[in-house]
Amino acid sequence: MMELLGLYNYWVFAVLLMIGFYAVIARPNMVKKLLGLSIFQAAVFLLYITMDKVEGGTAPIIQKGVEDAIYSNPLPQVLILTAIVVGISTTALGLALVVRIHEAYGTIEEDETQRADLDE
């Protein structure tokens, strides 16, 4: 039981991943799809941040006089900083596309844009 609870973050990771994925697949509204995509990516950020935790670890900053400190692993945090930037760029580009799609089609529902294309 304790073991399962100890993996709390990983459970949240899996649940968030699936919520995001579901929104991407099931919603025809493009803004909601992008929201889903953001949740989907955020789940992965959580996975990386969780794995760098070292029990009893502190922030990885070297201080004078402290020699036997245990540090958390800083690398995944750096990686995820990059991934967050990528995520923001993707969302921004996606939203810009949605604006253009709204200008061109007058709707942001995927089924309606598909119908508009078929009618042409």
Q: In the complex, which residues of this chain contact other proteins (CB under 8 A)?
A: 21, 24, 30, 33, 37, 40-41, 44, 47-48, 51, 76, 79, 82-83, 86, 89-90, 93-94, 97-98, 100-101, 104-105, 110, 113-114, 117
Task: State the alpha helices, DSSP H only, in 27-74.
Answer: 30-51
Indicate if the alpha-carbon torsion angle 8, 11, 17, 18 is positive or negative. Answer: negative
- Smallest distance, Å, CB 59 to other proteins? 19
Beta bridge partners of 109: 29
| Nearer of residues 59 and 93 to other proteins, judged by Cβ | 93
The nearer residue to other proteins, 25 or 66, going by C-beta atoms, is 25
Q: For the CB of residue 72, give the shortest distance to other proteins in the complex, in Å.
A: 14
Distance CA 41, CA 35 (A): 10
Shortest Å, Cβ 69 to other proteins: 19
Q: In whole angstroms, give the CA distance from residue 108 to residue 120.
A: 18
| Shortest CB 68 distance to other proteins, Å | 21
Single out the residue of 110, 103, 115 nearest to residue 24, CA to CA.
110
